[in-house]
Amino acid sequence: MGRPARVRRPKLVSLRTTFAVSFAAVTAVVTVLVGILSYNAAARLVRVDQQSVFDEVVQDVRGEVRRHSMTPEDFSSSAPGHDVVRPARTNVQVLGPDGQVSDGGRPALPVTAADRAVAAAVTAGRLAVHKDVDVGSDIYRVATVSLGGGRGAVQVAQEFSDTEDLLRALQQRTLITMAAVVVLAGLFGWWLARRITRRLVVLTAAAEDVARTRRLGIQVPVTGYDEVGRLGRAFDRMLGRLAQSEEDQRRLVQDAGHELRTPLTSLRTNISLLRRIDELPPEAREELVADLGQEARELTDLVNELVDLAAGQSDNEPPQQVDLADIAEDVAGLARRRTGREIVLRASGDTTAYGRPGLLQRALSNLVENAAKFDRDGTAPIEISVAGPAVPGTVRVEVLDRGPGITDTDLLRVFDRFYRAPDARSLPGSGLGLSIVREVALAHGGAPFAAHREGGGSIIGFTVSGAGAREREGD
């Protein structure tokens, strides 16, 4: 059997390289466009300007020969005032009546049949124009103007090759400048990308370290108030919450194992007695069966509360606007049917909040069930109070009973997991109900509280952030 083909992993391109190449590419495109447009504009301007000057010179010569009866000698380089008659920066060549050169230009210009026809023309100012005439190694534009009366003609030429040489030099310098700009842009893009991505590299290294070691307690050394700084702080907070969640899960497992050990041991002991149930007297048999039933119920309640607590920590119910007074009314109705007790509900102010309805209902149900359990034989109604603040802030939920109350020592620990007051250890329960209330309150930006009630009993409740406070945070 042959070896399996190795899967080639795609080569990773760093964000720094991508940013630098993209920056250099954009700069190159912009530089090339600007260079081409600038060169074309400059070349067009130079050519148009030179053409305008040449046309103006030709028109001046035509106007001169039309106004004055001039002869070839008037344009001779040896004639007095030739510097006035011959235009500046032009090459002038004079033709006789038969089209022969009577005074050559420097350099000499070619004479064509059209030029000889113009020289023999009767009308002054007749024109023959020749474009891109090769004279030696240079390029000229030549215009032949008749003197009239068959007296000859004058040729005016202007060199264009020097202009093209100038434009070619400008083109080369433009290309060199564009290349230099592209190289500098690439170097600057690399430096800028390195500066920008430096903190991203730190974040990436931290994330890879967490993935490799599974340690959530690392510190993310990211500073700044831009998007990267915000990302770093958010990542650091996320790691902190994950570490806290992991610690909560570990504590929950440890506490649950500790609390489950006692009822399981008792249940195992009673089950072992079932093997000798025939040897036991009837009273012991009934007591054993009752104990088994009670222990099974307590174990079931403990497991259910553990599930509720774990679900409360990882609840994915979407938060929404809820009315705590409506939730309290549903809880009160359910508690009346379960316990047969009178439940009184009082609501005042704005009782709307932003939260998870299921969790809030579970917390309030735990408070009511706790009050009913500790005031089992009471006749006074259990009261639920939901009070909104006078100004947007927090909503306060209270459950008031007339039970035996809570001692000062127990007030400090009543919301701890699995904690049960000495006087309540004979009652059913696992000590998780109020800890679920605490978790729900903290998850909604509030806090649990417990206090003595005037006249006897206790007040236990929690607060949550109101809708107005949520809106201010969103602003």
Residue 344 sits in a domain whose CATH number is 3.30.565.10
Domain membership flag for residue 237: yes
Domain membership flag for residue 209: no
286 and 350 co-located in one domain? no
Range of the domain at 381: 316-475
CA angle 426, 427, 428 (to 5 degrees): 125
Domain membership flag for residue 382: yes
Q: What is the CA radius of gyration of the chain?
A: 51
User: Final residue of a domain: which of 294, 314, 334?
Assistant: 314
278 and 336 co-located in one domain? no
120 and 52 co-located in one domain? yes
User: Final residue of a domain: which of 139, 166, 193?
Assistant: 166
Domain membership flag for residue 200: no
Cβ(296)–Cβ(267) below 8 Å: yes
Domain membership flag for residue 211: no
Question: What CATH number has the domain bearing residue 146?
Answer: 3.30.450
Domain membership flag for residue 460: yes
pTM of the model: 0.44
pLDDT tens digit string along 299-317? 776 677 667 656 655 556 7
CA 475/CA 122 separation, integer angstroms: 93
322 and 310 co-located in one domain? no
Q: How many domains does the chain have?
A: 3
The full DSSP string for 215-268 is: ----------SSHHHHHHHHHHHHHHHHHHHHHHHHHHHHHHHHHHHHHHHHHH
Domain membership flag for residue 194: no
Q: What are the pLDDT tens digits along the chain (475 aa)?
A: 445 555 454 555 567 777 778 878 888 888 888 888 887 887 787 777 777 877 888 888 888 888 888 878 777 766 554 444 455 567 888 888 888 888 877 788 888 888 888 888 888 888 888 887 877 777 788 888 888 888 888 888 887 766 667 777 888 888 888 888 888 888 888 888 777 777 777 777 777 777 787 777 677 777 777 777 787 788 788 887 788 777 777 776 766 665 566 667 777 887 787 777 777 788 877 887 777 777 777 677 667 766 765 665 555 678 889 999 999 999 998 888 877 888 999 999 888 888 988 889 888 988 888 888 877 777 788 999 999 875 567 899 999 988 877 777 777 777 776 665 545 444 444 566 787 888 888 888 889 998 888 888 889 999 998 654 444 444 4
pLDDT tens digit string along 122-181? 888 888 888 878 777 777 888 888 888 888 888 888 877 666 677 778 888 888 888 888
User: Final residue of a domain: which of 314, 331, 355?
Assistant: 314
Measured CA distances, 72 to 94, 152, 158, 167, 342 (Å) = 6, 6, 20, 36, 133
270, 274, 280, 285: CA torsion to nearest 10: 70
Domain membership flag for residue 177: no
342 and 275 co-located in one domain? no
Residue 71 CB neighbour total at 10 angstroms: 16
